[in-house]
Amino acid sequence: MAKKKELGDEERAELEAREPLVELKRSVEAARAEAVSQPYTKAGWAPWLAAAEELEVAVTEHADRYGVSRLVVHEYVSSRVLHPELHAGSEAAE
C-alpha cells in the first residue's frame, strides 16, 4: 500500500485555499438544479451561468496565485462536490 505524502506548509495552505472554491461549486450546482427544473428561459438560466462564470474566474485566479494547474484545481473542486465519496476519510472531506 502506498504511503500518503506529507504536505508542506505551502501545499497545505493552497489546499485549504480551495475551500471557498468548493462552496462556489456547490452554489453553481444549486443554481443548475434550479435552472433545469423548469422550462428553459434566458432569465431562468442566468443565475446558473453567472455562478459558473464566477467559479471559472475564481479557479483561474487561484491557479495563478498558487502556481498550480487550473485543470487540477477545477477537477479537485468538481470532484469534492459531485463525488464526495471519493474524499471520505481525507483531510479535505467534510
Domain extents in the chain: 19-87
- Average pLDDT value for residue range 69-91: 89
**Residue 85, pLDDT score:** 87
pTM: predicted TM-score of the whole model, two decimal places = 0.83
**Residue 89, pLDDT score:** 66
Q: Rounded to whole angstroms, how far apart are CA atoms 74 and 88?
A: 19
Evaluate if residue 79 carries a pLDDT over 80. yes
**Residue 2, pLDDT score:** 58
Mean per-residue pLDDT of the chain: 91
**Residue 4, pLDDT score:** 67
* Helix 70-82, helix 42-66: angle, nearest 10: 130
